[in-house]
Amino acid sequence: MPTCNTCGKRWTFTQSIKKALLYSKGTKCFYCGTPQYLSTRSGKRTNLIYVIALLGVVLGRPLFDLAGFPYLMLAIPVIIIVMVIVPFSIELSNEKEPLW
Ligand SMILES: [Zn+2]
């Protein structure tokens, strides 16, 4: 789980999910209000998870000959798994770091 670099407090899983799309732009710590950003290392790891999940969903359709509802049944668990894994891969930084 993300830990604030200023106050050292660890964010909860729910707090991490709420801020999931805001890390690259910077988001305030829930406890001390200091802006926190996604670290470069964490950004690479998170993007890798997104790419693998996207490939799984995109390639899953022709590989398993899925369409319609069965395809949705593949995509939804992948999205849920990604949402559960990503908060554990997040490391915060006090300054905005380059993505690569
Ligand atoms: Zn803090």
| 78 CA distance to ligand 1 middle (Å) | 31
Q: Is residue 1 part of a domain?
A: no
| 91 CA distance to ligand 1 middle (Å) | 13
Q: Is residue 72 part of a domain?
A: yes
| 100 CA distance to ligand 1 middle (Å) | 25
Q: Is residue 4 part of a domain?
A: no
- Which pLDDT band, with edges at 50, 70 and 90, does 23 fall under? low
Q: Is residue 100 part of a domain?
A: no
Q: Is residue 52 part of a domain?
A: yes
pLDDT tens-place string over residues 2-19: 899 999 999 998 888 877
Q: Is residue 88 part of a domain?
A: yes
Number of domains into which the chain is organized: 1
Q: Kindly tell me if the per-residue pLDDT of 71 is higher than 70.
A: yes
Q: Which domain holds residue 47?
A: 13-93
| % of the chain with per-residue pLDDT over 70 | 95
pLDDT tens-place string over residues 34-54: 999 888 898 888 889 989 988
Global pTM value? 0.70
DSSP string, the chain: --B-TTT-PBPPHHHHHHTTTTTTT-EE-TTT--EEEE-HHHHHHHHHHHHHHHHHHHHHHHHTT--SHHHHHHHHHHHHHHHHHHHHH--EESS-----
Q: Is residue 44 part of a domain?
A: yes
